[in-house]
Structure 1
């Protein structure tokens, strides 16, 4: 019996502000793609500016999935992202289009690319609540330090403000005696898909400059008003969504913990650090073909290079090669 061929899956990753959105639209139009957002924050409605969410106009008619699917108080998880992405990949493939994941949330994207298995059984609600209470009394950094003592690799991967995931990593160790980082390391690294993984990178100082410019644009677009509006609707600062970059810093400003200038500088610093962690995560992934887009002004050359990588990977599929010539 002939083995059924693996579905094709195109993936574009890279740090924040590297230029994934513009590149993804041109590639999607060339290869007949539907885009699945690989961003854990863009799932939330009403969180547009701080997540650099693509607008309808910017989509240029390319179908996008997993954007604006939940309110900010919904506890979105990697397991849910994986389940939804696997369903979407099947449906997009059945429509004769190419599934295309675009984003920067490393664990989410890797979980789909390599079919990670997530435990749904082990939960200790009392343990969780005791650690949330500990965080209220001693701060998120103190909980993160607990994780660093038992699972330094997970602590390195998770930001102290990502309290829910930090506590989950502690909970996994508490229940199983096995570190979450060790469990992830044991995951099978063979993909259920015919993968084409492309990573965008650029000179670090250039990237940092772009990050700071993007934040200035977000502030000009009304980031403070967006965050203030979310608080006014009753979304608590402790929510995972409100702990996201661009939200927790502005919340701190609005609550009087920092001046506006201090909050902006904190946001720029935290975003630079986040981009560094994104690059570290993706560089540990296998199969990624990296394209240096430091010369961002030369978009056509960068596009042609990536187009060639994708065409080479999916060349045997006449359906996609015919769309390239359009």
Structure 2
């Protein structure tokens, strides 16, 4: 007996570590395939945090519609569950406009949660435990909290930066309440996509990537990252909030609070960003369905674009 099976809606995804060159390629691809870009970055959701998040410019947003940018104040918490819910609503809206939804970003869990429709639940929550852990971090430092997580869930500790207090608390909470590791719960999610999925991953020589990261940090400082952080603090945002613990912001706050010199803050930011890129690559290496493109030869843009076009036309029929 024949049945009518609805075709899966198409979804294009571009991932890779910070500074690998996602933005330039994404804009070209978006114009070529009539895409609307969905930012897959957990920090670009915050208004007024533009330089440190390497947010696309207004001119670039004028070229291609962008979503999931500037949707929260820095005082607001933002979670993977909210990201997933919002993007799941966006994808059919974009398809209905005759455009191709295109997720671009480097926050692995956020991107993967949409690609494979992860199931998130707040049923196993303990508000009192969260408050106790938060107090522990304030009294003993974020590194001590991160060390606590490493004792019970090393894989989650490897994935999360010591500054990411909210997510570290959540990972410890999951273990304390359920008795199972958050990393094991994530690994146990069904990797079946509700979309006709095409994921392209960008990679490059590690030494070149690190050089590009250091150049990007220098460029952010020239663009006024320190002044951006001063403005956010002057507007009353908590220097210990989740948003202000992001890369670039925590280091500048530390300098402004006298913890280290500006030169020391810049070197710390470069080091932390290199480590972040390493964690990004590790996460993406464990994702399935990624078609990798090596973009080490950065002057060979047309060749990289042709390679990606071959991948897209082989996966998504327009």
What is the TM-score of this pair, normalised by structure 2? Answer: 0.98
Deviation, structure 1 residue 137? 1.0
> Given that residues 237 and 243 in structure 1 are in contact (C-alpha distance below 8 angstroms), is that contact kept between their aligned partners in structure 2?
yes
Give the CA deviation at 1:60. Answer: 4.7
Query: What's the counterpart of residue 53 of structure 1?
Result: 55
CA apart distance, 1:136: 1.0
Aligned with residue 199 of structure 1, among 198, 201, 218: 201
Q: What are the Cα deviations for residues 63-105 of structure 1, in whole angstroms up to 9, with x where unaligned?
A: 1000000100110000000001111111111111110000000
Distance 1:84 1:199 in 2: 23
CA distance in 1, matches of 2:183, 2:285: 16
RMSD: 0.8
Alpha-carbon distance in structure 2 between the residues aligned to 1:37 and 1:50: 15
**Deviates further, 153-162 or 103-112:** 153-162
Aligned partner (choices 72, 75, 81) of residue 73 of structure 1 = 75
1:107 & 1:245 partners in 2: Cα distance?
Answer: 17
How far did 1:156 drift? 0.9
Q: Secondary structure at the match of 1:296?
A: coil
Match of 1:324 in 2: none
Unmatched 5+ stretches in structure 1: 321-326
Contact 1:43 1:69 in 2 (8 A): yes
Instruction: Write out the 4+ residue segments of structure 1 that deviate beyond 3 Å after TM superposition.
Output: none
CA–CA separation in structure 2 for the residues paired with 1:90 and 1:227: 37
Is residue 112 of structure 2 the alignment partner of residue 110 of structure 1?
Answer: yes
Q: What whole-Å deviation, never above 9, does each CA across 1:116-162 have from its counterpart, x for those lacking one?
A: 00012222111011111111111111111111111111111111110
Report the 3-state secondary structure (helix = DSSP H, G, I; strand = E; otherwise coil) of the residue aligned with 1:291: strand
Mapped pair 1:210 → 2:212: yes
Q: Specify which of 8, 19, 25 is matched with residue 17 of structure 1.
A: 19
Runs of 5+ unmatched residues, structure 2: none
1:311 Cα deviation from its structure 2 partner? 1.2
How many residue pairs match? The answer is 316
**In 1: Cα distance, 2:147 partner to 2:218 partner:** 32
Shift of residue 23, structure 1, vs aligned partner:
0.1
Measure the CA separation in 2 of the matches of 1:201 and 1:189: 23
Equivalent in 140, 151, 156 of residue 153 of structure 2: 151
Q: Work out whether residues 163 and 240 of structure 1, in 8 Å CA contact, stay in contact via their aligned partners in 2.
A: yes
Indicate which of 119, 144, 168 corresponds to 2:170.
Answer: 168
